[in-house]
Amino acid sequence: MPTLSLHPDRLLPADPTTRAIARELYAEVAGLPIISPHGHTDPEWFATDAAWTNATELLLAPDHYLFRMLYSQGVDLDALRVPRKGGLVPDTDPRAAWRLFASHWHLFRGTPSSMWLNHVFAEVFGLDVTLDAGSADHYYDVIGEALASPAFRPRALFERFGIELLATTEGAGDDLAHHRAIRASGWQGRVVTTYRPDSVIDPEHDSFARDMARFAELSGEDVTNWTGYLAAHRRRRADFRAMGATATDHGFLTPRTANLSRAECEALFAKVMGGKADAEEAELFRAQMLTEMARMSLEDGMTMQIHPGATRNHNARLFASHGRDKGADIPRGTEYVEALRPMLDLFGNEPDLTVILFTLDETTYARELAPLAGHYPCLRLGPAWWFHDSPEGMRRFREMTTETAGFYNTVGFNDDTRAFLSIPARHDVARRIDCGFLARLVAEHRMADWEAAELAQELTVGLVRKAYGLEAPAREVEPA
Amino acid sequence: MPTLSLHPDRLLPADPTTRAIARELYAEVAGLPIISPHGHTDPEWFATDAAWTNATELLLAPDHYLFRMLYSQGVDLDALRVPRKGGLVPDTDPRAAWRLFASHWHLFRGTPSSMWLNHVFAEVFGLDVTLDAGSADHYYDVIGEALASPAFRPRALFERFGIELLATTEGAGDDLAHHRAIRASGWQGRVVTTYRPDSVIDPEHDSFARDMARFAELSGEDVTNWTGYLAAHRRRRADFRAMGATATDHGFLTPRTANLSRAECEALFAKVMGGKADAEEAELFRAQMLTEMARMSLEDGMTMQIHPGATRNHNARLFASHGRDKGADIPRGTEYVEALRPMLDLFGNEPDLTVILFTLDETTYARELAPLAGHYPCLRLGPAWWFHDSPEGMRRFREMTTETAGFYNTVGFNDDTRAFLSIPARHDVARRIDCGFLARLVAEHRMADWEAAELAQELTVGLVRKAYGLEAPAREVEPA
Amino acid sequence: MPTLSLHPDRLLPADPTTRAIARELYAEVAGLPIISPHGHTDPEWFATDAAWTNATELLLAPDHYLFRMLYSQGVDLDALRVPRKGGLVPDTDPRAAWRLFASHWHLFRGTPSSMWLNHVFAEVFGLDVTLDAGSADHYYDVIGEALASPAFRPRALFERFGIELLATTEGAGDDLAHHRAIRASGWQGRVVTTYRPDSVIDPEHDSFARDMARFAELSGEDVTNWTGYLAAHRRRRADFRAMGATATDHGFLTPRTANLSRAECEALFAKVMGGKADAEEAELFRAQMLTEMARMSLEDGMTMQIHPGATRNHNARLFASHGRDKGADIPRGTEYVEALRPMLDLFGNEPDLTVILFTLDETTYARELAPLAGHYPCLRLGPAWWFHDSPEGMRRFREMTTETAGFYNTVGFNDDTRAFLSIPARHDVARRIDCGFLARLVAEHRMADWEAAELAQELTVGLVRKAYGLEAPAREVEPA
């Protein structure tokens, strides 16, 4: 049975000169705390600190990176225990699901999922043989036993992982009860929320009506008129800040912004609320609201994140049976230069505003995003995202943005994950790739070694703290 | 006179560690049989087994990669004996044409054509000096003498090259006589056809009317109504399968698909046949027919290939004088996410359907194609195509698709060529580049050596057999 | 204080085998004369040979690469002495501005600006410590003293830099007085002009009216009718040729061309002159004029350069306060295949016409530009431009164009700069990157060493002389 081991030089460039430089840079940042300012873990885990059950429930069934690949090769989602629409869990034996996954593990060769999961297997669970059909039960048993022990409870792992801060993401209709519970518990782990109001901004969102009702209730505002609706956002942003939020997040198909007059806003809002907005009006409303969110960020200091470019739920049949987030979101070409202009006309020159741009369209790195971020005071570039959060994707991000935007208009790494156990793996990949990139610049005499060492620190902890307005802790968090 | 020799390490990465790994991987696949499931060689060659005449007729005049480059530098096509429209061959001495080509051979430095042709010169003809004005006559004589000998007849070379299977491409109006002749001859070489019905699907194709007449005649169906027209396709697909075809191929400007009702189809078809379809209706008809072809593939098991993105015959003056395929096809930006949606809504979730997507727009690799193929069961990614069938192009293909789609959603290599003598060279380039890519993953400890070795086999013979529904032969074909 | 030194192997690939090859290639071209056929230096410098004043005025305040990066991080432009609209210079102490710049020098890590300026600091001024807050005054003093000495006057540096030819760019309303003065002075430096008629072709240009008046005056033609307007262009092109011009340059947002009838041209021109052209008509007029410029180039032999794709003055507030060229130009996606078709239909097949295409949209390199230039006799590819004139940008240019267009459809390097002192640095970067690229091809056995050596010469001096119709000088210019 082939052994599983994580090579200490993994992901570092093969050239010996460059690798030696990269190794030195990496050694200085490998042990730094993890700062995770953008992600999708479940705050309930840290509120209740309940044990996870088994490998399938924890690692497979919720991970769309994994089941989408198996699905693409003809594997049925029910057989993997992926929940159907409404959360209905198929009646599949979780061990059988795990075996099926294990027998397809070769599909992930060359993908980030294989690096992340192998890291989890080896580092978190101490497994030392590779996953395949033959080792599936061994894996299932080892992982299951570990999860039953106190050392593998969410809070214990949080501490073991050396996490300085972890941001979750909640909608505008969320009561933040889990975050309140975390604070009330006295546990010291810094888990904060992020304001993600998509479902009360996008009239085409499938829970728009339901979430608007909750939004009204939680804010105590009359959200049926434009003034009250904006006031509700301000109120809820304050609620979120009270639970540690320093950022908002916005994920529409396009990054379009608008700058309508007050009268136009009122008329458009009335149409939206009356259910009479057509597709273009819905788009215009989202566009205007991105501008309003920027305005509020300038008022309240929250960092604004824009994540455009995903065609959600592309597979109609799968959406009908299984709902959102089932691996069927597909990127589309994205235009930023004209889309952002109305917002930038208003707030682009404000150095006290921070708007972080992400993309699923790598063609915009060198053509649009780096030139924009290398000019406008309010703009920063988020790290390589989603399909591009991978060794090659990160390398392309640095190669295509650095020469125009520099390193200092970027914001460190986001893991953007709901797979909590993979967070150390993901940050480790980013640190290794960044150190490899810096090492190449040093090896090619484009940068001094001491400059690269400073930058490695910045890319790991400095820039993320600055971009998200995070204080460094009095005492450094250290991995247990 | 500089010597010509093919270095055993050519195309492998320069880093010694990586090269050593690549060399080992390559050694295991270098001698595997050639499987060529998509290309444009002339079946008449194998039907008649007639000798080719000279270097100019065989290697220069039909190869648009070569004469387009010379043309771009001001060389007249007549002087290269490139046929004019209707096949009229200019009155140029073939030896003079060859000399002219040889004196411009430096133009190809750094291009795949130089690698392919040097391989042909050295390996097929045993030439050992480089091509230039001084060696032009020597080349012309050596090649001419070789071609006159039995060992250089098409079937002899087919066997010498170790070709397990070679697919040609014929239109829906082709009677497949050459393929029948090959079978009737008793020769054992596996030459199969591919169903390419573009000219009876695209109302704007210049031989639409002529080919529809042949299509009606050969199918025996009444192609003037929608039902008969579809039946004619089914009939002809069966004819092609009888001549070994396992695949269809479709090459329109866009990959747009549609899902019209039966009544809409009938009305649209009537308009097309009445010559009254405008540009948008012609596009809609092609779109609907891609969906119909997918439906038929699901019925009859033929693999469907989509090759979009080429603006054909961009040079109007040259098209008027020289006709199609004269090096004036220029790629354009191509959108897949919305274009394929109607077809995917119907058949995207069918694991028994295989649709292979190609592109001339590399920006879609990471943004659209890998995410689509990494989700939909019916989709696979064809290899780097045409202008991107090159060392750098192949490397970019792997770097930009693997992390999201994996290796197993790709289908091995296509040579896509009418230059029969270059087939071994082209497959050799692909094997070397793939082994180099795998070697980098191993050198960076992103994959184990044994995994890379398995993948090298898959990329060379395994995946192509699976994607095109090809049986492995009882006994492996070995190069003579 | 960290030392500043330029490593002799800088920018060469790290792999020792490849680096050794690159070093040999570079050694043969490092000392070749500089040919700068496209740039924006001020001809007045060479006409008057007046001394420059200080580091801030010479290196910082006019360089939008520098101040845009500082601006993006919240630094005020006034504090950097960047002129306001109309040339009004802020009342900031130039030494204070320099100190502010020095304290932000780390922002440029990994950017071409840091390579260019470090080259200027070390090679031109002999500085040997790195720039930072602590060394800012030392820098300011050393540079200021040097600039006061005769050896740092424009003509002396021109000779010291080994410049064989330097092209400036003037508008159609320029009287070329500086160029006449240079010639009248008897100085032997070859400084030539370039015809850039954008402001009398683009009805939306902010100095269209003013420049049309000058254009009429200088040409002596009646520019109020189409015939006179075209005659004025012909006259001014001749004036420019008399001042050494061998090229024209055109920089609109799109590369769209048109082929209107004479009557349509006259009607459109009347609309433009009447101030009644809408946005589409203005675009159509620019498109038609690109075609007219190509027609005139075919008549008079001037090389035509097209630089599309920049959204000028994206930052409205900054444009209002500071005017053009303040680092707020942002690239946009650019389409060439349909845009150039009308012009190519007319002149694409003319081997005596040279049209050089540039882009800010790298996605067009492999998809559109290399296929176009690898076919049409009139087309050549300009080097990686502006945001892409950088080590990574140049490398991508070669990787994405060479396999389809070859090296011989490219035209060597353009520095495209107004930063005169950085010209040797910029050409040096290009030579190193090109030699590194060639060295990789040699190390991977894709090209013989002697071929690479020939190409290194072509990429440095041969192709640029040919593309811009420049005679090699009787005696080679050698750096002093």
pLDDT digits (tens, 9 = 90+) for B420-472: 999 999 999 999 999 999 999 999 999 999 999 999 999 999 999 999 999 87
Q: Is B396 on the interface with A (CB under 8 A)?
A: no
Whether residues A375 and C13 touch (CB distance < 8 A) is answered with no
**∠ CA(C241), CA(C245), CA(C249), 5° rounding?**
120
Q: Is A279 on the interface with B (CB under 8 A)?
A: no
For C403, which of B9, B311, B393 is closest by C-beta distance? Answer: B393
Is pLDDT of A281 > 80?
A: yes
Whether residues B448 and A130 touch (CB distance < 8 A) is answered with yes
- Nearest-CA distance from C166 to chain B in Å? 26
Find chain B residues with C-beta within 8 A of C373's C-beta. Answer: 72
- As a whole number, mean pLDDT of residues B340-356 equals 98
Please tell me the distance from the alpha carbon of residue B45 to that of residue B60, in angstroms, as a whole number. Answer: 17
Q: Is B416 left (phi over 0), alpha (psi -120 to 50) or beta?
A: left
Percent helix, strand, coil in chain C, to 5, is 55, 5, 40
pLDDT band at C474 (very low <50, low <70, confident <90, very high): low
- Radius of gyration for the alpha carbons in chain B, expressed in angstroms and rounded: 22
Is pLDDT of A476 > 60?
A: no
Q: What is the length of chain A?
A: 480
Closest CA to C35 of C448, C413, C476, C362: C413
Residues 136-195 of A with CB under 8 A from B: none
Find chain A residues with C-beta within 8 A of B402's C-beta. Answer: 110-111, 392
Q: Is B344 on the interface with A (CB under 8 A)?
A: yes
Map tokens 């942002």 to a residue: C330
Find chain A residues with C-beta within 8 A of B366's C-beta. Answer: 362, 387-388, 393
pLDDT at site C455: 98
For B366, which of A316, A327, A388 is closest by C-beta distance? Answer: A388
Q: Is B271 on the interface with C (CB under 8 A)?
A: no
Q: CA dihedral defined by B58, B62, B65, B66, rounded to 10 degrees?
A: 60
What pLDDT digit, counting tens, does each position of C17-39 carry? 999 999 999 999 999 999 999 99
Q: Is B337 on the interface with A (CB under 8 A)?
A: yes
Find chain B residues with C-beta within 8 A of C448's C-beta. Answer: 2, 130
For B7, which of C374, C403, C445 is closest by C-beta distance? Answer: C445
pLDDT at site C1: 76
Q: Is B274 on the interface with C (CB under 8 A)?
A: no
pLDDT at site B90: 96
What pLDDT digit, counting tens, does each position of C261-296 carry? 999 999 999 999 999 999 999 999 999 999 999 999
Question: In this structure, is the dihedral angle defined by the CA atoms of residues A324, B369, B297 and B37, taken in order, positive or negative?
Answer: negative
Which residues 6+ apart lie within 8 Å of C248 measured at CB?
Answer: C194, C195, C196, C197, C237, C293, C297, C302, C303, C304, C305
- Nearest-CA distance from B293 to chain A in Å? 20
Is pLDDT of C429 > 80?
A: yes
For C403, which of B110, B317, B363 is closest by C-beta distance? Answer: B110
Residues 369-388 of A with CB under 8 A from B: 387-388
Where is C44: in which H helix or E strand? helix C43-48
- As a whole number, mean pLDDT of residues C126-139 equals 98
Q: Is C434 on the interface with B (CB under 8 A)?
A: no
Q: Is A335 on the interface with B (CB under 8 A)?
A: no
User: Is the distance from CB of C479 to CB of C161 less than 8 angstroms?
Assistant: yes
Find, in chain C, the residue whose alpha carbon is nearest to that of A348: C315
Question: Encoding tokens for residue B296?
Answer: 């038929």
Sheet of B170-171: strands edge to edge?
B170-171, B195-196, B247-250, B303-306, B355-357, B379-381
Q: Which of A298, A337, A445 to mutate to test the interface with C (most CBs of C within 10 A)?
A: A445
Q: Is B367 on the interface with A (CB under 8 A)?
A: yes
Is pLDDT of B69 > 60?
A: yes
Judged by DSSP in three states, B184 sits in helix
Please tell me the distance from the alpha carbon of residue B455 to that of residue B460, in angstroms, as a whole number. Answer: 8
Find chain A residues with C-beta within 8 A of C435's C-beta. Answer: none
Question: In this structure, is the dihedral angle defined by the CA atoms of residues B183, B188, B191 and B193, taken in order, positive or negative?
Answer: positive
Find, in chain B, the residue whose alpha carbon is nearest to that of C351: B74
Tell me the residue ranges of DSSP E strands in B72-219.
Answer: 163-167, 170-171, 191-192, 195-196
For C402, which of B110, B332, B333 is closest by C-beta distance? Answer: B110
Mean pLDDT, chain B, as a whole number? 97
For A337, which of C69, C314, C393 is closest by C-beta distance? Answer: C314
Whether residues A74 and B351 touch (CB distance < 8 A) is answered with yes
The answer to which of B130-134, B146-150, B471-475, C347-351 has the lowest mean pLDDT is B471-475
Q: Is A214 on the interface with B (CB under 8 A)?
A: no
Beta A191-192 vs C34-36: how paired, if at all? unpaired
Judged by DSSP in three states, B152 sits in helix
Whether residues B409 and A12 touch (CB distance < 8 A) is answered with no
pLDDT band at C66 (very low <50, low <70, confident <90, very high): very high
Closest CA to A157 of A75, A288, A275, A34: A34
The answer to which of A43-52, A337-346, A470-479, C404-413 has the lowest mean pLDDT is A470-479
Measured in degrees and rounded to the nearest 5, phi and psi for residue C86 equal 80, 5
Alpha helices in C190-315 (DSSP H): 208-219, 226-242, 262-273, 279-300
pLDDT band at B475 (very low <50, low <70, confident <90, very high): low
- Nearest-CA distance from A160 to chain C in Å? 35
Calculate the alpha carbon distances from B278 to A234, B273, B275, B284, B427 in Å: 53, 12, 9, 10, 42
Q: Is B343 on the interface with A (CB under 8 A)?
A: no
* Amino acid (1-letter code) at residue B312: R
Please tell me the distance from the alpha carbon of residue C321 to that of residue C85, in angstroms, as a whole number. Answer: 6
Q: Which of B332, B353, B404 to mutate to test the interface with A (most CBs of A within 10 A)?
A: B404
What pLDDT digit, counting tens, does each position of B307-342 carry? 999 999 999 999 999 999 999 999 999 999 999 999
**∠ CA(B177), CA(B183), CA(B188), 5° rounding?**
145
Question: In this structure, is the dihedral angle defined by the CA atoms of residues C358, C360, C364 and C370, taken in order, positive or negative?
Answer: positive
pLDDT at site C472: 75
pLDDT at site B471: 82
User: Is the distance from CB of C433 to CB of C11 less than 8 angstroms?
Assistant: yes
Please tell me the distance from the alpha carbon of residue B105 to that of residue B114, in angstroms, as a whole number. Answer: 8
pLDDT at site B478: 55
Mean pLDDT, chain A, as a whole number? 97
Whether residues C405 and B109 touch (CB distance < 8 A) is answered with no
Tell me the residue ranges of DSSP E strands in A191-284.
Answer: 191-192, 195-196, 247-250
Percent of chain C with pLDDT over 90: 97
Q: Report the 10 Å Cβ neighbour count for A139.
A: 23
- As a whole number, mean pLDDT of residues A236-241 equals 98
Find, in chain C, the residue whose alpha carbon is nearest to that of B333: C367
pLDDT band at A246 (very low <50, low <70, confident <90, very high): very high
pLDDT band at C364 (very low <50, low <70, confident <90, very high): very high
* Cα within 13 Å of Cα(C14), Cβ side: 22
Beta B330-331 vs B34-36: how paired, if at all? unpaired
Q: Which of B68, B385, B392, B395 to mutate to test the interface with C (most CBs of C within 10 A)?
A: B392
pLDDT at site C58: 97
pLDDT band at B1 (very low <50, low <70, confident <90, very high): confident
Where is C167: in which H helix or E strand? strand C163-167
What pLDDT digit, counting tens, does each position of B31-58 carry? 999 999 999 999 999 999 999 999 999 9
Question: Encoding tokens for residue B223?
Answer: 């192609």
Q: Report the 10 Å Cβ neighbour count for B106.
A: 18
Question: Encoding tokens for residue C215?
Answer: 């254009």
pLDDT at site A479: 54
Is pLDDT of A314 > 70?
A: yes
* Amino acid (1-letter code) at residue C134: G
Taking CB atoms within 8 Å and a gap of at least 24, the contacts of C124-131 are C124/C157, C124/C421, C124/C424, C127/C4, C128/C3, C128/C4, C128/C5, C129/C1, C129/C2, C129/C3, C129/C4, C130/A448, C130/C1, C130/C2, C130/C3, C130/C4, C130/C105, C131/C4, C131/C102, C131/C105
Burial, C345: exposed, middle or buried (Cβ in 10 Å; 0-12, 13-18, 19+)?
middle
Tell me the residue ranges of DSSP E strands in C5-47.
Answer: 34-36
Map tokens 């075609």 to a residue: C291
- As a whole number, mean pLDDT of residues A319-341 equals 97
Report the 3 state secondary structure along C333-391.
Answer: CCCCCCCCHHHHHHHCCCCCCCEEECCCCCHHHHHHHHHHHCCCCCEEECCCCHHHCCH
pLDDT at site C471: 82
pLDDT at site C477: 53
Calculate the alpha carbon distances from A222 to A213, A276, A293, B4, B247 in Å: 10, 20, 19, 82, 61
For A387, which of B13, B366, B399 is closest by C-beta distance? Answer: B366
Q: Is C403 on the interface with B (CB under 8 A)?
A: yes
Find chain A residues with C-beta within 8 A of B375's C-beta. Answer: 68, 71-72, 314-315, 327-328, 330
Please tell me the distance from the alpha carbon of residue C268 to that of residue C266, in angstroms, as a whole number. Answer: 5
Find, in chain A, the residue whose alpha carbon is nearest to that of C67: A375
pLDDT at site B476: 55
- As a whole number, mean pLDDT of residues B374-390 equals 98
Is pLDDT of A278 > 60?
A: yes
Chain A neighbours (≥3 Cβ pairs under 8 A) are: B, C
Residues 96-125 of C with CB under 8 A from A: 106-112, 114-115
- As a whole number, mean pLDDT of residues C174-200 equals 98
User: Is the distance from CB of B322 to CB of B293 less than 8 angstroms?
Assistant: no
Percent of chain B with pLDDT over 70: 99
What pLDDT digit, counting tens, does each position of A83-120 carry? 999 889 999 999 999 999 999 999 999 999 999 999 99
Find chain C residues with C-beta within 8 A of B109's C-beta. Answer: 406-407, 447, 451, 455
Q: Is A335 on the interface with C (CB under 8 A)?
A: yes
Chain C neighbours (≥3 Cβ pairs under 8 A) are: A, B
Please tell me the distance from the alpha carbon of residue B22 to that of residue B439, in angstroms, as a whole number. Answer: 5
Is pLDDT of A469 > 60?
A: yes
Is pLDDT of B157 > 70?
A: yes
Beta C330-331 vs C310-311: how paired, if at all? antiparallel
Q: Is C365 on the interface with A (CB under 8 A)?
A: no
Q: Report the 10 Å Cβ neighbour count for C261.
A: 8
Find chain A residues with C-beta within 8 A of B440's C-beta. Answer: 14
Judged by DSSP in three states, B314 sits in coil
